[in-house]
């Protein structure tokens, strides 16, 4: 990676300086204006090559840039008012001064430009543990170092200290794929400007956390998903840069492999004709991607060799934790088709978080973006933000935004359950949802997650106090087939008129069916291209997606167009509305079936069946689904208070009153399944004491004679503790 990166950075720098020598008029003015990103990369190349001609070009380029800031009246325009540009410019300036390449007049003019640029930001702080604050902190520190004797230098340093404090050793308040590495990159460069405190910063546990989070998000095709404010092909260069720095600091060959995979994947795709931010078909672009990749080149040092061992990511997992990251990645190994055909799904249940309160309040007070959580986080809690199989994107997130007030950060633009108070009079749900896009704070938490061989399972909860409901999103993922079963179980916490919409954005719908008088209950889809602002990702057509709604007795479904990701898009939605009462339960069941192009048949519609839904009360749900050559019977206790009947003593839970029949399966577990194969049975459960299949006992906790607290004669007669989780294959069974 290092040699190829040097080659790319060197070629990009040469293109700019060659153009500077040959262009005139407006073309030259534009090239000069872009030099703020090029000068620092050029010094990094020079530090490695010692090319005397290049050093002259850097000096002449800086002089040309500085001269362009001086107006006819001698006033200096703050050309570096964008603080993303100020640190790289100051780095180049320091490099040239260190080599004694600048005369006194140039130094005076350059100092004046830096002063004007730094002073232009004194009126707004935009603070908090988020990207713009760290960019500005890095800029103020850079100005302080460049012009240390100026009268405002102490004030710039004070601004830098004030802005970086919220992020130094603390969690980011952003949940946005485009800004996470951006925030971290400028924190590292700012730490370098604080007298070389980058090592101190990198050793903080909160810093190390983010490198680990990034490393666990890699998709099978060598790219990263987007969520929150994010774009499909943007910001990869920033991820690659910070991971190079982490690899050297912690001696992690897997981190370097991650950076190399990102870099080579995007580079190869761009040179093959895809529109990728940071690269064109002629090579590395000369904007901020050039600067951060050149910085990665500067950070290459005592790096270990790349090690792919940890990136054989083929199992579903929580992405680090359930307090800050709040993401679950569902994966398989591609089966007989190999890793290139692997499936990847990302569930994001991140809320605003119980930290950074002062900062979040400030962002709500000063930021005019009512449809987002503070800051840059979308209303995508409990959303499936990415679904990919065999390199084909089947579901994508809502992207960035077209204008400041287009609402694209709102909940309806994500693959999630969407709630409103009231309902539309004309039965058209989409315009009703679009008319009310403001963000309502919610709380989320993980209830369960587990790998159980033939099934992966998660349950994440969302509490919406403003609208008066709680919903659990349950995900069942079948690694053998790539099928997802999504159960959205709603509990009404406050009575009143409400509507609930099960929203999916498959985009390119190829066919639909299962019609009744209310609409279609399944669609088959493939998005031909994934829009990214003014770019388009050409999507492979190796897979298509069947989106299927089950249990449609009381629900309506529609296919509607919506403006999303800068283009018209097609949504598939299922909804119900009415006056609901406290304690009432509602439910939605969605099946997502990726399949090879050209292989769709009606048999795919019957892979998942509802066995029972507690007579429509949705306190429990039984499912039967294909897990690849066998049938699994799954029991879900949607109301986990079932069986809490020993009210005067402890334990409250009781096997006899907590057991639920799901056809042949009987258990008191919150989640359980049985796969009855010839000669063996596979079982799994979470939070249960007993599991029976066709009245045969397959799992049973021993009686707990001493497990009781409470009055005499109020103990549970068949006293059993619960097993938190269990997975077993029982062989030699009938």
**705-714: pLDDT as tens digits:** 777 777 766 6
CA distances from 695 to 231, 607, 680, 691 (A): 52, 25, 16, 9
Q: Is the dihedral of CA 625, 546, 480, 232 positive or negative?
A: negative
Q: What CATH number is given to the structural domain containing 149? A: 1.50.10.100
Give the tokens for residue 534: 């003014």
- How many other C-beta atoms can be found within 10 angstroms of the C-beta atom of residue 645? 13
Domain boundary among 546, 580, 599: 599
The answer on 108 and 243 residing in a single domain is yes
**pLDDT tens profile 95-124:** 999 999 999 999 999 999 999 999 999 999
Structural domain includes residue 259: yes
Q: Using the 8-state DSSP alphabet, how is residue 306 labeled?
A: P
How far apart, in whole angstroms, are the C-alpha atoms of residue 540 and residue 248?
36
How far apart, in whole angstroms, are the C-alpha atoms of residue 208 and residue 199?
11
Does pLDDT of 217 surpass 90? yes
The answer on 634 and 573 residing in a single domain is no
Q: Using the 8-state DSSP alphabet, how is residue 216 labeled?
A: T
Closest Cα to residue 175, out of 448, 360, 402? 360
CA distances from 314 to 214, 451, 475 (A): 16, 12, 17
The answer on 423 and 448 residing in a single domain is yes
- 601 burial (CB, 10 Å; 0-12 / 13-18 / 19+) is exposed
Give the 3-state secondary structure percentages of the chain, helix then strand then coil, rounded to 5: 30, 30, 40
Look at residue 309 in the predicted model and tell me its pLDDT: 59
Average pLDDT in the 18-29 region?
87
The answer on 542 and 406 residing in a single domain is yes
More confident residue, 354 or 516: 354
Beta bridge mates, 140: none
* Prior bond of 375 cis (ω within 30°): yes
**pLDDT tens profile 179-202:** 999 999 999 999 998 888 999 999
Structural domain includes residue 734: no
How far apart, in whole angstroms, are the C-alpha atoms of residue 466 and residue 631?
41
The answer on 180 and 49 residing in a single domain is yes
Q: What are phi and psi of 531, to 5 degrees?
A: -70, 140
Does pLDDT of 351 surpass 70? yes
Q: Are 143 and 159 a contacting pair, CB within 8 Å?
A: no
* Helix and strand totals (H; E) in the chain: 17, 31
Does pLDDT of 310 surpass 60? no
Look at residue 311 in the predicted model and tell me its pLDDT: 53
Average pLDDT in the 579-603 region?
97
User: Which domain does 672 fall in, by range?
Assistant: 607-726
The answer on 168 and 120 residing in a single domain is yes
Rg, the chain, Cα only = 29
Average pLDDT in the 326-338 region?
91
Q: What percent of the chain stands above pLDDT 70?
A: 98
The answer on 615 and 526 residing in a single domain is no
**pLDDT tens profile 477-513:** 999 999 999 999 999 999 999 999 999 999 999 999 9
How far apart, in whole angstroms, are the C-alpha atoms of residue 675 and residue 677?
6
Look at residue 553 in the predicted model and tell me its pLDDT: 86
- 564 burial (CB, 10 Å; 0-12 / 13-18 / 19+) is buried
Mapped onto helix, strand or coil, the DSSP state of residue 343 is strand
Q: Are 545 and 395 a contacting pair, CB within 8 Å?
A: yes
Domain boundary among 575, 599, 623: 599
Beta bridge mates, 498: 421, 578
**Kind and range of the H or E element at 455?**
strand 455-464
Look at residue 139 in the predicted model and tell me its pLDDT: 96
Does pLDDT of 733 surpass 70? no
Domain boundary among 261, 287, 311: 311
Structural domain includes residue 55: yes
How far apart, in whole angstroms, are the C-alpha atoms of residue 153 and residue 278?
34
Q: Are 539 and 390 a contacting pair, CB within 8 Å?
A: no
The answer on 430 and 297 residing in a single domain is no
To the nearest whole number, what is the mean pLDDT of the chain?
Answer: 93
What's the total number of domains in the chain?
A: 3
First to last CA, the chain: 56
The answer on 403 and 341 residing in a single domain is yes
């Amino acid at each position: 990676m290092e040699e190829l990166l040097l080659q790319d950075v060197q070629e990009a720098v040469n293109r700019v300086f060659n153009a500077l020598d040959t262009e005139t008029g407006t073309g030259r003015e534009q090239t000069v204006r872009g030099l703020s990103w090029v000068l620092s990369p050029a010094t990094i190349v020079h530090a490695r090559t010692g090319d005397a001609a290049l050093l002259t070009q850097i000096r002449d380029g800086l002089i040309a840039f500085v001269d362009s800031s001086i107006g006819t009246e001698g006033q200096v325009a703050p050309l570096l008012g964008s603080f993303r540009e100020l640190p790289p410019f100051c780095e180049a300036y320091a490099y040239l001064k260190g080599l004694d390449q600048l005369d006194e007049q140039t130094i005076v003019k350059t100092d004046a430009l830096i002063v004007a640029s730094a002073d232009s930001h004194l009126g707004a702080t935009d603070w908090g543990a988020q990207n713009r604050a760290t960019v500005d902190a890095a800029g103020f520190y850079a100005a302080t170092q460049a012009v240390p004797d100026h009268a405002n230098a102490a004030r710039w340093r004070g601004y830098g200290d004030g802005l970086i404090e919220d992020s130094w050793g603390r969690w980011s308040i952003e949940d946005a794929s485009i800004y996470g590495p951006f925030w971290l990159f400028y924190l590292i460069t700012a730490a370098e400007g604080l007298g070389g405190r980058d090592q101190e910063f990198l050793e903080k546990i909160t810093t190390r956390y983010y490198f680990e989070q990034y490393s666990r998000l890699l998709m099978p095709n060598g790219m990263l998903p987007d969520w929150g404010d994010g774009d499909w092909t943007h910001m990869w260069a920033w991820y690659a840069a910070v991971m190079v720095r982490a690899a050297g600091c912690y001696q992690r060959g897997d981190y370097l492999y991650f950076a190399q995979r990102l870099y080579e994947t995007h580079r190869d795709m761009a040179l093959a004709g895809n529109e990728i931010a940071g690269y064109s078909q002629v090579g590395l672009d000369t904007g901020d991607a050039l600067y951060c990749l050149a910085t990665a080149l500067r950070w290459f040092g005592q790096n270990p060799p790349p090690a792919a061992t940890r990136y054989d990511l083929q199992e579903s997992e929580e992405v680090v934790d359930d307090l800050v990251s709040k993401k679950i990645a569902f994966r398989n190994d591609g089966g007989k088709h190999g890793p290139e055909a692997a499936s990847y799904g990302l569930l994001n249940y991140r809320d605003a978080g119980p930290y950074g309160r002062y900062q979040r309040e400030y962002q709500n007070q000063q930021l005019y973006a009512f449809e987002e959580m503070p800051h840059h986080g979308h209303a995508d809690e409990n959303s499936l933000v990415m679904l990919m199989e065999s390199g084909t994107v089947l579901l994508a997130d809502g992207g960035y935004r077209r204008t400041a007030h287009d609402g694209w950060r709102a909940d309806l633009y994500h693959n999630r359950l969407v709630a409103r108070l009231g309902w539309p009079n004309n039965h058209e749900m989409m315009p009703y949802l679009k008319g009310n896009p403001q963000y309502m704070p919610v709380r989320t938490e993980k209830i369960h997650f587990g790998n159980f061989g033939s099934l992966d399972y998660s349950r994440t909860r969302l509490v919406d106090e403003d609208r008066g409901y709680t919903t659990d999103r349950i995900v069942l993922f079948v690694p053998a087939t790539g099928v997802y079963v999504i159960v959205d179980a709603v509990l009404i916490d406050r009575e009143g008129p409400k509507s609930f919409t099960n929203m999916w954005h498959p985009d390119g719908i190829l066919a639909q069916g299962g019609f009744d008088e209310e609409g279609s209950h399944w669609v088959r889809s493939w998005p031909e291209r994934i829009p990214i602002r003014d770019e388009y990702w050409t999507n492979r057509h190796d897979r298509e997606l069947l989106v299927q709604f089950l249990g449609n007795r009381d629900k309506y479904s529609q296919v509607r167009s919506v403006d999303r990701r800068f283009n018209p898009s097609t949504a598939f939605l299922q909804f119900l509305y009415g006056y609901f009462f406290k304690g009432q339960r509602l439910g939605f069941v969605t099946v997502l079936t990726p399949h090879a192009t050209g292989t769709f048949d009606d048999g795919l519609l019957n892979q998942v069946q509802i066995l029972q839904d507690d007579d429509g009360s949705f306190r429990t749900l039984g499912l039967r689904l294909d897990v690849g050559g066998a049938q699994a019977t799954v029991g879900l206790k949607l109301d986990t208070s079932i069986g809490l009947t020993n009210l005067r003593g402890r334990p409250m839970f009781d096997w006899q009153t907590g057991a639920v029949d799901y056809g042949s399966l009987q258990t008191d577990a919150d989640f359980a399944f049985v796969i009855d194969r010839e000669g063996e049975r596979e079982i799994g459960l979470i939070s249960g004491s007993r599991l029976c299949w066709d009245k045969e006992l397959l799992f049973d906790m021993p009686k707990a004679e001493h497990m009781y607290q409470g009055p005499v004669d109020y103990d549970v007669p068949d006293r059993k503790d619960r097993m938190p989780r269990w997975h077993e294959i029982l062989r030699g069974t009938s």
